[in-house]
Amino acid sequence: MQAKVLEAELRTETGKNANRRLRSKGLIPAVIYSHGKAESIQIQSKEFSKLFKGRISESVLFDLKIANKETQMAFVKDVQFDGVTDSVVHLDLYKVTKGEKINTHLSLEIVGTPKGIKLGGQLEIHDRTIDVECLPTDLPEKFTVDVSELLVNEAIYAKDLKLGDAIKLTSNRDAVIAIVHAVRKEEPVAPAPSESASADE
């Protein structure tokens, strides 16, 4: 897949107060990890939002351009949000080494309307991501799962996904991705006898 570009700068100050000052300037404090090493950086919040457009996923690779350093490929390993504003307050990034496989999440896009819905079933989606291992160049931004053929009481499991030879599934193979349940019909409740009827007896 074609990598996107995100620019960053090294930061020397760390800690809660320093991070708070960065956020007030529209910057996101972040750390990039690689084989046990960590480097503190800062990223423009607006640029990060443009790159991910509200949907942050590990399966999105990008070229990280740090000022005065060599460009490196990376992905978001962890993100922290503000509990009130839901804005990004901290990022953990992971550097990708060329030719080295990565273990990451792959987003699933569920498409289609199951045939079972027309027969009275109800679609329930259990997972929207799976864990995989592959080379960075083989990682798609998302994997489409078509549920249109599902009938009532049928399911799609992780092991059913045709990921191809280049991507290894590391999630539980028997994990349910989507299932169509039969909708239980409620039995009509008989009305309680009226007081007048009881008195007549």
Q: What is the pLDDT of residues 92-113, one digit of tens each?
A: 999 988 888 988 899 999 999 9
Q: Which of 163, 152, 164, 159 is nearest to 175 (CA)?
A: 159
Residue 4 predicted with pLDDT over 90: no
Give the DSSP letter of residue 99.
Answer: T
Percent above pLDDT 90 for the chain = 51
Strand 27-34 and strand 88-95: pairing? parallel
Stated pTM of the model: 0.69
**Residue 90: C-alpha distances to residues 30, 69, 72 (Å):** 6, 22, 20
pLDDT value for 136: 85
- Per the model's pLDDT, the better-predicted residue between 170 and 53 turns out to be 170
What is the average pLDDT score of the chain? 87
**CA-atom Rg of the chain in angstroms:** 25
Enumerate domains of the chain plus CATH numbers: 4-95 (2.40.240.10), 102-182 (2.170.120.20)
Residue 199 predicted with pLDDT over 80: no
Mean pLDDT of all residues in 38-48: 92
